[in-house]
Amino acid sequence: MFSGLSAFPLTPLNAGGIDEPAFVRLIERLVAAKVDSIGALGSTGNYAYLSIAERGRVARLAVEHAAGVPVMVGIGSVRTRDVLALAEEAQRAGASAVMLAPVSYQRLSDKEVYGLFEDVTRALSVPLCVYDNPGTTHFTFSDELHGEIARLPNVASIKIPGVPNDTIEAKVRVERLRALIPSHVSIGVSGDALGAMGLNAGCEVWYSAIGGTFPEAMLAITRAAQAGNADESLRLSARLQPLWQLFGEYGGSLRVTAAAAELLGLVEAPCLPRPLKAVDGEARERLAALVNELALS
Amino acid sequence: MFSGLSAFPLTPLNAGGIDEPAFVRLIERLVAAKVDSIGALGSTGNYAYLSIAERGRVARLAVEHAAGVPVMVGIGSVRTRDVLALAEEAQRAGASAVMLAPVSYQRLSDKEVYGLFEDVTRALSVPLCVYDNPGTTHFTFSDELHGEIARLPNVASIKIPGVPNDTIEAKVRVERLRALIPSHVSIGVSGDALGAMGLNAGCEVWYSAIGGTFPEAMLAITRAAQAGNADESLRLSARLQPLWQLFGEYGGSLRVTAAAAELLGLVEAPCLPRPLKAVDGEARERLAALVNELALS
């Protein structure tokens, strides 16, 4: 399951809590588009803002409506006890894999992060994806630490934050990591602006935040890259440059993706948990025009 | 209550969860030492690692055993809904004040942080301390934002991360903030190595992590500063320099303070929630020698 396009849907909220019908509709869109896997409760799915019970419910809904498409579930939490409880919930829900970021309040040491993955992988019966996202965890993995963690049982993939925005440098970066991890562990790129670049550089998966809301456009990029048509994948990605630009200006993809889903009526507004706010004002107007221009739907 | 020494105890854990007898003993030590207030469930009290129910229980234990010493309770959480629930719990427990840091998973904007404090202060019936700790929240307050938030109802104090380690620069720093906030809002220094410097520079409170475990030594520093004896307070603080050094080397005070409490038998070992680990090996040996040399108890 750790290849192609892994699409990360929002977990939309409304006044009553989780907006379950809207979440199910997002899952059904991904199934209809034929994504390769679904990443429920990633950063885009606001896992860090939900209770253990809410996360269990979302995991079950995702698997129930995925029509056999493999579902990976985010189990990150600052406390090992809670990560273990979340892993148990995800497995009971029928997740095909789990994803774990070393989320922190107190900045973690390498030893503490290794200990976390050691404790969690020991308790799993499904594969695990190591989620490397320094922007939210404030932990920076060395490639050497990735190599050590990748040797733990059940580790099957690493989600890296991005690659250099240059064809040669991106290849060098992926090859350096590849040399340090076992061959059965796949490397997945995230950072949507760099999806095409990452796939062309040898990443087996694109873990895509925007792909959870607009799967068709991201599948076109993915299929071009998988077919060895690097130029076409880069051209399709470059077409979305104004969107990548907005992500850059507004602290990542979440607040923009949420606003796009609200604008299209896929979810109620506001769909993000307070204190988070989707982009508004002038940025929201630019986004509305963009969604229209790019025929995103 | 926002003056003098505010001491922040650990919330020790053991195999069964919260080690309640050990926590009560820590509170009783603070009462016996006559600290000016107690900060339960600060960063040192591991608030970010505990469930809402655990935090309610800890808040009640703190107030019950504080023998009338005012107790401030940390209510930080990434989600506004949970902050409001924690505020309600803390007030029901009898907290004299609450303390709120803009904890984040997705890095917050100024507008989002202001919105958080607006939502929470509106719901309070006790004073609030704004907890500015960029090392754990990854949010940097401008003095102007502090000024705006300090004008919200119920805001009574600001806990700043530290002051420059220079008598003149520390005064300039405190005076700049003082000029932007209403006079009824006190300024408290944290960062234990800078407690004396901060008090001498005009901070009304020292929010002290190490003071939660070793109140006597920190009270001596506080009382000297309060009596206008700046040199004596700096001398007493300089004596603890090897401890400040260890804090610097091991990512802050928590892992060192926890190890010191373990070494003295105040709490069971390990007392921190996994994946956090107290300092061990050579650093723990240095610490044991220090605790002895400095006659900390």
ipTM: 0.96
Full residue range of the structural domain in which residue B115 is found: 4-229
Residue B92 lies in a domain: yes
Residue A183 lies in a domain: yes
Residue A198 CB neighbours (<10 A)? 26
Residue B245 lies in a domain: no
Known binding residues of A for pyruvate:
44
What pLDDT score does A264 carry?
Answer: 95
Residue B283 lies in a domain: no
Q: Which residue has the tokens 């300090």?
A: B150
Query: Measured between alpha carbons, how far is residue A191 from residues A43, A197, A250 in Å?
Result: 12, 10, 14
Q: How far is B105 from chain A (nearest CA, A)?
A: 5
Residue A287 lies in a domain: no
What pLDDT score does B123 carry?
Answer: 96
Mutate to test the interface with B, among A106, A117, A118 (most CBs of B within 10 A): A106
| Cβ–Cβ < 8 Å for B85, B100 | no
Mean pLDDT, each 10-residue run in order, chain A (297 residues): 95 96 98 98 98 97 98 98 98 98 97 98 98 96 98 98 96 98 97 96 98 97 98 97 94 95 97 97 95 85
Phi, psi of B177 (to 5 degrees): -65, -45
Residue A272 lies in a domain: no
Known binding residues of B for pyruvate:
44
DSSP state of B74: E
For A119, name the nearest residue in chain B, comparing CA atoms only.
B275
Q: Do B102 and A273 touch (CB under 8 A)?
A: no
What pLDDT score does B297 carry?
Answer: 77
Task: For Cα atoms A188, A25, A124, give the angle at the middle one, nearest 5 degrees.
Answer: 45
- Give the span between the Cα atoms of A84 and A161, in whole angstroms: 24
Task: Tell whether A225 lies on the interface with B, counting CB pairs under 8 A.
Answer: no
Which of B107, B108, B275 lies nearest to residue A108, judging by beta carbons? B275
Task: Tell whether A105 lies on the interface with B, counting CB pairs under 8 A.
Answer: yes
Q: Do A274 and B79 touch (CB under 8 A)?
A: yes
What pLDDT score does A295 carry?
Answer: 82
- Give the span between the Cα atoms of B109 and A249, in whole angstroms: 12
Q: Do A273 and B81 touch (CB under 8 A)?
A: yes
For B276, name the nearest residue in chain A, comparing CA atoms only.
A112
Q: What's the pLDDT tens digit per position in B241-294?
A: 999 999 999 888 999 999 999 999 999 999 999 999 999 999 999 999 999 988
Secondary structure class of B262 (helix, strand, coil):
helix
Set B47, B159, B207, B250: catalytic member: B159
A159 catalytic per annotation = yes
Residue B288 lies in a domain: no
What pLDDT score does B6 carry?
Answer: 98
A83: Cα separation from own chain's centroid? 18
For residue A33, give the amino acid letter.
Answer: A
| Cβ–Cβ < 8 Å for B9, B30 | yes
Sign of CA dihedral A192, A196, A201, A204: positive
Residue A296 lies in a domain: no
Q: Do B106 and A136 touch (CB under 8 A)?
A: yes
Task: Tell whether A135 lies on the interface with B, counting CB pairs under 8 A.
Answer: yes
Residues in A closer than 8 angstroms to B277, CB to CB, are 109, 111-112, 115
Residues in A closer than 8 angstroms to B42, CB to CB, are none
Secondary structure class of B212 (helix, strand, coil):
helix
Interface contacts (A, B; CB < 8 Å): 89
A131 catalytic per annotation = yes
Mutate to test the interface with A, among B47, B52, B54, B78 (most CBs of A within 10 A): B78
Query: Which residues 6+ apart lie within 8 Å of A66 measured at CB?
Result: A27, A30, A31, A38
DSSP chain A: --SEEEE-----EETTEE-HHHHHHHHHHHHHHT-SEEEETSTTTTGGGS-HHHHHHHHHHHHHHSTT--EEEE---SSHHHHHHHHHHHHHHT-SEEEE----SSPPPHHHHHHHHHHHHHT-SS-EEEE--HHHH-----HHHHHHHHTSTTEEEEEES---SSHHHHHHHHHHHHTTS-TTSEEEE-SGGGHHHHHHTT-SEEEESGGGT-HHHHHHHHHHHHTT-HHHHHHHHHHTHHHHHHHHHTTSSHHHHHHHHHHTTSS-SS-SPTT-----HHHHHHHHHHHHHTT--
Query: Which residues 6+ apart lie within 8 Å of A248 measured at CB?
Result: A193
Residues in A closer than 8 angstroms to B119, CB to CB, are 274-275
Nearest CA to A121 among A96, A89, A147, A149?
A149
Task: Tell whether A16 lies on the interface with B, counting CB pairs under 8 A.
Answer: no
Q: How far is B136 from chain A (nearest CA, A)?
A: 5
Q: How far is A181 from chain B (nearest CA, A)?
A: 23
Residues (pLDDT < 50) of chain B are none
CATH label of the domain that carries residue B69? 3.20.20.70
- Give the span between the Cα atoms of A250 and A256, in whole angstroms: 7
How many structural domains are present in chain A?
1
